[in-house]
Amino acid sequence: MKFKDYYATLGVGRNAGADEIKKAYRKLAHKFHPDVSKEAGAEERFKEIAEAYQTLKDPEKRAAYDRLGTGYRPGEDFRPPPDWQQQFRAGGGGAAHEGGAFSFDDLDLADLFESLSRQRGAQRGAPRPRRGADYEAAVHLTLEQAFHGTQLELLLGGRKVTARIPKGATTGQRLRLRGQGGKGLDGGADGDVYLDIVLHEHGLFRVTGHDLYLDLPLAPWEAALGATIEVPTLSGAVNLKIPPGTAAGRKLRLAKKGLPKPGGGEGDLYAVVQIVNPTALDERSRELFRELAQHAGFDPRAHFAEATHG
C-alpha cells in the first residue's frame, strides 16, 4: 500500500484542529473543485483533497490514520503496524477483502478508510448493492473527428475505456456511455461515463452549435462582378456562386455543409464575405483603379451627409 500524507495534501500540521482542517479544505476545494476550476488537473487534485478531508474530518478515522505511523514519504510502500491490522480485521467484512486472505498490498488507502466507514455503518446481513462510480472527463476533438465520428482511448478511474464518439459532437455537448464507469458492487449496476465535448479551434472554420462559419476573402472585382469560386468544406471543396455586387459582411449559406447533428441532418456552413485588396499594386494596376474611380462616380459614404444634414 502506498502512503499518502493527508496533512500535507491539505497543507496543515499534524496537530491542526478540526476548524483549521475544515478551513484548509474549503479553501482548496474552492480553488480545485472541477465544477468551478479552470486549472489543469483540477479534478485529480480535488479528489486527493477530498480524500484527505474525508479521513481527517472524522475523529475516529483521523485517529486510525495517525496510528498508521509517521515518517513515510508520500507514495512510499508501507504496511500499517500489526495491531492496526488486527483492529481493522476485528471490525468484520469489507468489500476490499471479501472471501479470502486479506492483503494490504492490493489496497489503496482511500479504499481502506471507505471500508472502515462501511463497517461502522453496521449493516448486518446481505450487503446493499452499490452502484459503480460515474466518471466524467472533457474530451478534445478536432473538427474532422467530430465530423466523421471517432474512437478514443481514455484513462478513467485508473483503467482504460474505449469511447466511441458518434457523429454529432459539438462543443458543450455531453455524451453518456452507459455502464462504462466503475464496476458495481454486490449486484449494483455499473456506473456511467460522461464526456464533455470540446472542439479544438480550426484554422478555417468557426463553430457554433452545428453550424460553421468561414471567412471568405474576395478580390474587389470578384465581389463587384460576381464569380464562381471554390470553397473548402469538411466533406471536400464545393463551387460557390458569388452574385455580382456582393458586399463585405454578407453571409452566403451553404446548406447542410456544417456538422452532422445527433438526431440526423446537418448544420449549415456560412461563408462570410471579406473584400481584400492586393497587397502590392504595380503601376498598371494603380492606373486601372484610378480609371475606375473616375469612371464609377461612386460615393460609398453618401449616407453620412444625409444622416448629418438631413
Partner 1 sequence: MAEHEDVVWMHTERVISIVELARYCEVEESQVRELVDYGALEPTDPGAEPLAFDAECAPQVRSALRLCHDLELESATVPLVLSLLERIHELERSVRDLTARLGRP
Cβ nearer to partner 1, comparing 72 with 213: 213
Q: Tell me, by CB under 8 A, how many residues bind partner 1.
A: 37
Q: Residue holding cell 462570410?
A: 272
**Which residues neighbour 216 within 8 Å (Cβ) at sequence distance 6 or greater?**
231, 240, 252, 271, 272, 273, 274
* 8-state DSSP, 127: P
Alpha carbon distance 113, 238 (integer Å) = 62
Rounded to a whole number of angstroms, the distance between the first and last alpha carbons of the chain is: 84
298: phi > 0 → left, psi -120 to 50 → alpha, else beta; which? beta
Please answer whether residues 3 and 76 qualify as being in contact, where contact means their C-beta atoms are separated by less than 8 angstroms: yes
Of the candidate residues 208, 253, 289, 293, the single one contacting partner 1 (CB under 8 A) = 208
* Interacting span for partner 1 (CB under 8 A) from 8-16, 29-37, 120-128, 237-245: 29-37
Alpha carbon distance 272, 202 (integer Å) = 16
User: Binding of partner 1 at residue 178 (CB under 8 A)?
Assistant: yes
Q: How far is the CB of 188 from partner 1 (least distance, A)?
A: 12
State which of positions 247-266 bind partner 1 (CB under 8 A).
262-263
The 3-class secondary structure across 212-243, one letter per residue, is EEEEEEECHHHHHHCEEEEECCCCCCEEEEEC
User: Binding of partner 1 at residue 51 (CB under 8 A)?
Assistant: no
* Interacting span for partner 1 (CB under 8 A) from 9-17, 92-100, 105-113, 200-208: 200-208
Residue 175: φ, ψ to 5°: -110, 135
Cβ nearer to partner 1, comparing 120 with 251: 251
Cβ nearer to partner 1, comparing 108 with 196: 196
* 8-state DSSP, 104: G
* Interacting span for partner 1 (CB under 8 A) from 23-31, 112-120, 240-248, 293-301: 23-31
User: Binding of partner 1 at residue 30 (CB under 8 A)?
Assistant: yes
User: Binding of partner 1 at residue 142 (CB under 8 A)?
Assistant: no
User: Binding of partner 1 at residue 39 (CB under 8 A)?
Assistant: no
Sign of CA dihedral 303, 307, 308, 309: positive
Cell numbers linked to 93: 467484512
User: Binding of partner 1 at residue 243 (CB under 8 A)?
Assistant: no
* Interacting span for partner 1 (CB under 8 A) from 163-171, 236-244, 280-288, 296-304: 163-171
Q: How far is the CB of 169 from partner 1 (least distance, A)?
A: 8
Residue 258: φ, ψ to 5°: -90, -155
State which of positions 266-295 bind partner 1 (CB under 8 A).
272
User: Binding of partner 1 at residue 171 (CB under 8 A)?
Assistant: yes
Cell numbers linked to 161: 475505456
Applying CB under 8 A, the residues found at the interface with partner 1 are 22, 26, 29-30, 33, 35-36, 46, 50, 134, 163-164, 166, 168, 171-180, 194, 196, 206-209, 211-213, 215, 262-263, 272
